[in-house]
Amino acid sequence: MDDIKTRLKDFLKATRMTREELARRSGVKKSQIDKWLSTVPMPDSRVKFFELIMKDCGYTAPEAPAEIRVRIHPSQWEKFKLEADLHGLTVNEWTVSVLDAHASIPCKRR
């Protein structure tokens, strides 16, 4: 799916704007909005128009999560995998939960 289609769908959800309302503001029928949000390519002029609507409504797309990469020894990986499995989590999920828990521990500053 095109980025604009994804962003526009997210915008509609976040603002609780219906496709009917978007169509009314755009001067087109709802069926055209439905087509643009599915398989029909969206004209560049409409992409710019929808971006202006989103901007005018103060909508900004949520940020993508940050990514952390860490090199670990295979034996450490196995240990982490076993621990994650015990909790019914993937290694990524387990790692995030461990880091989050560790970051919540109060620490005396020097």
Q: Looking at residue 106, what is its pLDDT?
A: 80
Contact between 4 and 51 under an 8 Å Cβ cutoff? The reply is: yes
> Tokens representing 45?
């002029």
Q: Looking at residue 8, what is its pLDDT?
A: 93
Q: Looking at residue 49, what is its pLDDT?
A: 93
Q: Looking at residue 2, what is its pLDDT?
A: 57
CA distances from residue 42 to 34, 63, 89 in whole angstroms, order as listed = 11, 24, 40
Q: Looking at residue 110, what is its pLDDT?
A: 61
pLDDT, mean over the chain: 89
Q: Which parts of the chain register pLDDT below 70?
A: 1-2, 62, 109-110
